[in-house]
Amino acid sequence: MGDVAVGARSGHDGEEHRGRPVEAADPASDSAVTSGSDSGATEDGTATEVRGGGPGDSAPAVKKQRSFWKELPILIGIALVLALLIKTFLVQAFSIPSDSMQNTLQQGDRVLVDKLTPWFGSEPERGEVVVFHDPDNWLAGEPVADPNAVQTFLSWIGLMPSATEKDLIKRVIGVGGDTVSCEGTGPLKVNGHALSESSYVYAGNTPCSQDDQGGQFTVKVPKGYIWVMGDHRQNSRDSRYNQSDKHHGMVPVDDVVGRAIVKAWPLNRWGTLPKPDTFDQAGINDKASASAALTVAPQGIALVGVVPVALWRRRKAAVERTR
């Protein structure tokens, strides 16, 4: 509206000005142009509001829009920063390198891992599928990928799964305080309760492996650690077969990257990774609670025993002083 007001002269005004000095123009016309809020009338009688400065004012400069090619590097930079932040704090993509989690996960699947909840103190729970750093050379002898520079950069910002990070993916079977055991071919037991694993253990596998390499075991999981196993029980080098390492096959909670929540690729295998119902069965926490109570019991018994003795000695001393 402003640039319209500066050049506002009707054709009728032009006829009146022809042949006479500009100073002789109708004062009312000059007033309409210089006023910033007065109303004027168009030739058809419709009232219009005229805004703008006087004849001496210049039209406001129109800001020139930056070209697309100049904005493109800025947009790419913002996208890269966002991708890096998402990978670091929210979600990261991982590629499944082996068959140890069949049929839940197939080799070549891409999963999205929730990295946000651990920042708020959330710890892995039984039944969850988690990604964790190699605790103590579990991947010794495994082939190492040799990505090119582009693949390395894209995996660094989280747009591609990392081909060089030494990470593993397994299912959490036991958490701190749990007792996990395998006898014969199974079933696998947690705190004395048998797990029904037919919904996720690889078809044809037995829940427990009969071998002398670690397939038969009874372990107590320390606080701050988890016990993990693959769903393809006869094709998974998991906690069972790493009991000779410095953590005795346990995975420190601090080494857990996050919880796998979605199978994102290929599209025909898209789906969530929920916790199986068998880990919610009644009583599965009983033994863990009992072990915690036993840890406190000696101190409680000692306190109960010491208090009467102390009172008895104080009373005895008071009697002796009165004699």
Residues known to be catalytic = 100, 170
| Residue at token pair 């372990």 | 219
Dist CA 317 CA 322 (whole Å): 9
Long-range contacts, stretch 290-296, CB < 8 angstroms, 24+ apart: 291/177, 291/179, 291/220, 292/177
71 CB neighbour count, 10 Å cutoff: 11
Q: Bridge partners of 260? A: 113
Please give the Cα distance from 70 to 293 (Å, whole number): 67
Q: Are 182 and 208 in contact (CB under 8 A)?
A: yes
Q: Which two tokens stand for residue 34?
A: 């210089």
Structure tokens at 276: 């199986």
- Is the link from the previous residue into 187 a cis peptide, with omega within 30 of 0? yes
